Structure 1
Amino acid sequence: MPPKINNSVAWQQAELLMQPAFIRVVDNIRKHLDVSSWKGTYHDVLVWPASITDETKAIVTRLLQEMETATPQQADEIRETLTRLPMPHPGYHLLLQRQGQEVSVDLWELCYQVCFLDYTSEHEAADIDTSLIDDVGEVDWLRLEAKTKELVEQVFDNLPG
């Protein structure tokens, strides 16, 4: 889940870092895949809060599908119902495959690890890693690249042998 950001300065810093972090994550993954026996494919996914039941997921999914063919009045009623239900957020995963083994990597979670200090998905709030921002408020590309490279290497180092 995305970390909760509690103030406007941290929000601006996150906005500054997330796109460059994502680009560096994908590029570093590509570099590893070029020399790895693992093959990778990217997939859009829906990410649900952990506490959501399969029944609720099915209801929301069905309502979202019904929206596609609903009349304007039906669509308004569906939107009203959806406001009272939990909604997934879009995710982007890398599926790594090798010799019958599969490992899924959540790319947004990896980006959060790059952009935030000691980020784990269990913590609701996280602090921006301000060492990735230079003295004039721009991205420190060298630090960003170094941290991204280290985290992507950890992903590949932790793959099953």
Structure 2
Amino acid sequence: MKPKFKTRQAWEQAQTLMQPTLIRVVDQLRQRVDESPWEGEYEDVEEPLPGFQLRLQQGDRTHVLNLWDLCFQVCCLNYPAPHSIDADPEVDLDLQLLDAAGEVEWNILDEKVRQVLATTFATLESSP
């Protein structure tokens, strides 16, 4: 789902964060999949946003992770769960991810990506 930002400035700040976040998410996903019993395969998707999803398989269990949803979870404070009823949520950007000059805070970004992916994989392990 595509979030709505409350201000134009927040949208512009999100533009600054999304590419570095996507790169960090993909890199850390690769590491997590390599270290886990899951096998992963990327697939192109067109809806709701063009991009990629990661199909994870472990035996007869399959889970699909939308990369944009993961990136929005990292970049936003209040991004809803991927299967939420709210199709166009209004969100607040996590301003800790940017310094006073509007540049990416790389260490904070890396840690937030780790947290989001840890939560995501913990949820996968506990679901049928």
Q: TM-score, normalised by structure 1?
A: 0.70
1:46 deviation in Å?
A: 2.5
Q: For residue 44 of structure 1, what is the aligned residue in structure 2?
A: 44
Q: What residue ranges of structure 2 are gaps of 5+ in the alignment?
A: none
Q: What residue ranges of structure 1 are gaps of 5+ in the alignment?
A: 49-88
2:98–2:104 Cα contact (<8 Å) kept: yes
For 1:102 and 1:46, locate their aligned partners in 2 and report how far apart those are by CA, in whole Å.
20
Aligned alpha-carbon RMSD (Å): 1.5
For 2:36 and 2:77, locate their aligned partners in 1 and report how far apart those are by CA, in whole Å.
29
**1:86-133 per-position Cα deviation (integer Å, ceiling 9, x unaligned):** xxx314210000112110011101100101112115252101110100
For 1:6 and 1:91, locate their aligned partners in 2 and report how far apart those are by CA, in whole Å.
24
1:6 deviation in Å?
A: 3.5
2:6–2:92 Cα contact (<8 Å) kept: no
Aligned residues: 121
Q: 1:1-161 maps to which residues of 2 (within 5 A)?
A: 1-48=1-48, 89-120=49-80, 121=82, 122=86, 124-160=89-125
**1:38-60 per-position Cα deviation (integer Å, ceiling 9, x unaligned):** 01011111224xxxxxxxxxxxx
For 1:100 and 1:9, locate their aligned partners in 2 and report how far apart those are by CA, in whole Å.
45
Relative contact order higher in (CA < 8 Å, ≥ 6 apart):
1
Task: Please say which structure displays the higher CA radius of gyration.
Answer: 1
Q: TM-score, normalised by structure 2?
A: 0.87
For 2:35 and 2:6, locate their aligned partners in 1 and report how far apart those are by CA, in whole Å.
41
